[in-house]
Amino acid sequence: MPKVAKVSKVNVVGACEGVKLDKRFYVPGVTIETSCPRCNADRPIHLADRYLTSPTVGRPHDAMGYCPDCDLNWPVMIRVDVTVTAVDNAQAEAGEGVKE
In the complex, the residues that contact Zn ion under the rule CB under 5 A are 36, 38-39, 67, 69-70
* Closer to Zn ion by Cβ: residue 67 or 80: 67
Residue 44 beta carbon to Zn ion: minimum distance, rounded to whole angstroms: 13
Residue 76 beta carbon to Zn ion: minimum distance, rounded to whole angstroms: 14
* Closer to Zn ion by Cβ: residue 15 or 39: 39
HEC letters along the chain: CCCCCCCCCCCCCCCCCCCECCCCECCCCCEECCECCCCCCECCEECCCCCECCCECCCEEEEEEEECCCCEEEEEEEECCCCCCCCCHHHHHHHHCCCC
* Closer to Zn ion by Cβ: residue 42 or 100: 42
Residue 43 beta carbon to Zn ion: minimum distance, rounded to whole angstroms: 7
Residue 65 beta carbon to Zn ion: minimum distance, rounded to whole angstroms: 10
* Closer to Zn ion by Cβ: residue 20 or 38: 38
| Cα 5 to chain centroid, rounded | 33
